[in-house]
Amino acid sequence: MSRFGWLIAGLYAVLFFTYAVTWAFTWDEAYHLLASQLMAGGKIPYIDFCFPQTPLNAYWNAGWMRLLGFYWRVPHAFAALFTIGASGLTARYVLLRFPVASWRGAAALSALLLTGLNAMVFIFGPLQAYGISMFLLVAAYRVAVREVDREGLLGAAAVGLLAGTAAASTLLSAAAAPVLILWMLYYNRAGSRWGKLATFVVGAAVPFAPVMGLAAKGPRQTWFNLVGYHTTFRKLYWPETTRHDLEVLTSWIDSGQALVLGLLAVAGLVYIARRSQWPTALRAEFYLCAWLAAALSAEVGRAHPTFPRYFVLAVPFLAILAAVGLYAVASRVLEAGEPLWAMVALGVVMVLGLGKALYDRDQVSDHWGAYERVAKKIDEVTPRGALLFADEPIYFLTRRVPPAGLELSNSHKVDLGAQENALLHILTEAEVKREVRSGIFATAYSCDEDDIKDYGLVDLYRQRVDMESCSIFWDRK
C-alpha cells in the first residue's frame, strides 16, 4: 500500500483501540468476564458453576487478568489487538494476491476498510471471543491456501490448530474447520492427502483438551453447557424466536454497510468465476472465501436466537471478495487504473455507516463507567464478607464471588428438577425470589422495577439509593 494507505490503517488501529478500552460494552460480556475471574480464583467451569460456552477464551482472559489486574480493559485490549490483526491479515492477503498490479494497494485498503470499519466488527470486536476467532480464522485461511502446494504436514496441523482454537474460543466459528480441510484435500497439489487430513484433525483436537478434561470430570455438566443449554433453553428468553431470527436475517436490508459488503462480494464472486484468464489456483482461493463466509453465516444463522453480531466472523472473507467486486465495478465505471474515487466513495459509506451505528448504540446501551459508579457505591455500603444480590457486571467489578447459582442470570428460567439443578448449579426464578425475600443478602441491587416489587426489596431494607437507572438497597430491617 502507499503511504496514504498505511496512514489510514494506522489511524484506524489507533481509533479502534481507543474505543475498545474506553467505550466498548455489551451486557452479555459480563458473564464471560465473571467466569474468567472465577476461573482465576480456582473455580472450574461447568463443574463449579454454569457457563454455557467453550472455555478457552475465558481461560485466556483469566490468565492475563491474573497478571495485569481484574479490569475489563485487559480483555478488551487483547481482543482489540486480535481484531486489528484480523483486519491487517485480510488486507495483507489482498495486497499479495490481487492479480491487477495497479489496483493492489487500493484493493488491500478496501478490504481493510470493509473489515475494520464494519459496524458489527468495530462494536463487538473488542468483546468476548469475536476478535480472537476472527484473527484465527483469517490466519487459518492464509496458511491453508499456502499449504496445498507444500509436501510437509506441519502446515496442515497448523491450519487445524488455528481453526480448532477459534472453535474452542467460540463454537460460532466451528463450521470453518470442515470447510478448510475439505478445500485443502480437494485442491491439494503436493504431499499426502491422508497425511494432511490426519495432522489437521490432531491439530484441531489440541485446543479442545480443556473440554475433554472437563468432560472426564463431569460429563453431564459438560454436555449441558456446550449442547443442551443451547439447543433447548436459549429460546426461553425469546418466546418469539422465529420472528426474531427472521428480523435479524433480513436486517441487512436496513444497513448501508451490509448492502455494500454483500453486493460487492457477490459482484466479486461473479467476476472471478468469469475471469478464465485468472490462474485457476488463485480463483480457488477466492472460492474458499465464499465457502467460508457461507458456512459461517449458515451456522450462526441457525442459532436460536441469532444476532447480527454473530456474523462478524464471516466479514473478513466477504471483504476479500468485495475488494474484487469493487475493482470489477469501478473498472467499468471509472478509469481502470485510477481507483481513487472508488476508494473515496467506499470510505464515505463505511465511515458514515459506522458513525450512525455508534450513535444509535450510544442511545440504548450502557457503558462500563456507569456500572463502575454503581459498584463503588455497593462496596461502600456492603461489608466485604457479606452476601450480595446483584448481576454479573457488579459481581465482576466488586470482585465478589456470587452465591451458588447466581453466576449466570440467564439460567434462572431453566428447571430440570431439584437434583439436576443442583448438579448444574442452577437456581430457578422461584428459588431466587425465595432467597432474596428471606433477607439473607446484606445488599440487593436491581434495575428492574418489577423485580424490585416482586422481591419486596422496599420492605426488606431501610436504605435505598437510585443510580444509573438502577437501585441499591441495604441495611436490612
- Pairing verdict, β 470-476 and 443-446: antiparallel
Angle, CA of 225, 226 and 228, to the nearest 5°: 70
Q: What is the mean pLDDT of the chain?
A: 92
Residue 410: the pLDDT is 86
Percent of the chain with pLDDT over 90: 78
Question: CB count, 10 Å around CB of 3?
Answer: 7
Query: Closest Cα to residue 324, out of 257, 259, 386, 269?
Result: 269
Query: Closest Cα to residue 41, out of 64, 66, 60?
Result: 66
Residue 136: the pLDDT is 98
* DSSP helix/strand/coil, 464: strand
Alpha-carbon distance 408 to 428, whole Å?
11
Residue 336: the pLDDT is 61
Alpha-carbon distance 273 to 278, whole Å?
9
CB neighbour list of residue 363: distance below 8 Å, 6 or more residues apart: none
Contact 327, 100 (CB under 8 A): yes
Alpha-carbon distance 303 to 316, whole Å?
21
CA distances from 6 to 10, 92, 170, 215 (A): 6, 11, 31, 47
Contact 369, 463 (CB under 8 A): no
Query: Closest Cα to residue 324, out of 364, 379, 283?
Result: 283
Residue 343: the pLDDT is 87
Q: Report H helices in 98-240.
A: 104-116, 119-124, 130-147, 154-169, 176-187, 193-205, 209-217, 219-223
Residue 351: the pLDDT is 94
Residue 364: the pLDDT is 66
Contact 474, 442 (CB under 8 A): yes
Can you tell me which residue has the cell 481509533?
15
Alpha-carbon distance 352 to 78, whole Å?
27
- The helix (run of H) or strand (run of E) holding residue 270 is helix 256-274
Alpha-carbon 154 to chain mean position: 28
Query: Closest Cα to residue 394, out of 464, 305, 283, 472?
Result: 472
Q: Could you give phi then psi for residue 324, rounded to 5 degrees?
A: -65, -40
- Whole-prediction pTM: 0.94
- Pairing verdict, β 388-389 and 470-476: unpaired
Q: At what angle do helices 104-116 and 256-274 cross, to 10 degrees?
A: 140
Residue 243: the pLDDT is 83
Show the low-confidence residues of the chain (pLDDT under 70). 1, 236-239, 335-337, 363-364
CA distances from 250 to 123, 239, 255, 260, 273 (A): 20, 19, 10, 15, 27
Q: Grid coordinates in use for 19? A: 474505543
Hey, what amino acid is at 269? L
